[in-house]
Structure 1
Amino acid sequence: MLSHPLADGAELRALEPWRAEEFHAFIERARPHLAPWLPWATAMDDPAKVRHWLTRCAEAQARDGKRIFGIWLDGELVGGIEFASFDPALGTCELGAWLAPEAEGRGLITRAARHLIDWALHTRGLTRVQWRATTANTRSLAVAHRLGMRREGVLRSAFTAGGVRQDVEVWALVAERG
């Protein structure tokens, strides 16, 4: 099994289709916490839908596109992070993340994001890593700030969650190339 340590008892691993039941159980547990920010948390209401989504993610990764990872704490899936977009030809990618409330405050998302940013910029040679979050999602915006990203602006009424149109902040980190 391939994994990357994040902290004592915490690790980052690929979230593959064979983990659909485990991911579905996580979504069921964390749905009230995730749904205000992530429309898929409501849509993924049975293991077959979760498996289909993870299969699409695996197929995208095989085409050198988006990738999805889980975060485990003491052997339990407590969150995840993904390259919501990954385009080597353009040199850009976008990260998105989620975490169960009981795992918050440990720096897991920040550590996972730093690892993926390092891989994207230094191993793959991408130039731009983007982070988007609704203006109300202060925890996510704080992660972007801690990662050294710069706030580039606000996309007004750009996202619907919970049936409500929301503004989205765009943050990015751009690699300095010589």
Structure 2
Amino acid sequence: MSGFGANFDQIDADPAAEFLAREQDELAGLEDEVKPAAIAVTSLVNGAPPSPPTSLTREPREEPEKIKKWREDQVKRLEEKDREEDRKREELRQIAKKELEDWYKNHEETIAKTKAANRDAAKSAEKQFVAEDNDIQPGTEWERIAKLCDFNAKTKPGSKDVSRMRSIILQMKQYPVAIKPKA
């Protein structure tokens, strides 16, 4: 066993002790800054009431006059802005109310005009129908029916297919069937 080192009797230095010694050397300058807290802890351990460290206690400082003045001015400005905002909001409400009243007035006028125009159109259509009703001649029935029908081939999507009925009405108009009265 001589190859592994014959010096087993000597005990090497403790590595933890070496580490602690190095750290204490590096942190030696920090003791002055930590001392007030250490004093408070040691006084608690000894049973004495802790004395407040002088470096950690701060007395409330009074605000400088400029900052006080700025805070007062800021409060006044904010109050003024709030009043201005309330005034503008009320103004906008009045404008909106007036516009809404005008819109309702115009809407009612438009509806009244449309109703009057529809009544006039219906009356004239009725007069025309009554006038034509007196001129009924036998064999012209299908022509009258064809006048009432829309023969436009274009239809709306989703509507029923009425092309067959349209073709039948056109045929009846062109070639009316004479109906003989029963004797």
TM range (shorter): under 0.3
Q: As a proportion of its length, which structure holds more strand?
A: 1
In our comparison, the structure showing a higher alpha carbon Rg is 2
Q: As a proportion of its length, which structure holds more helix?
A: 2
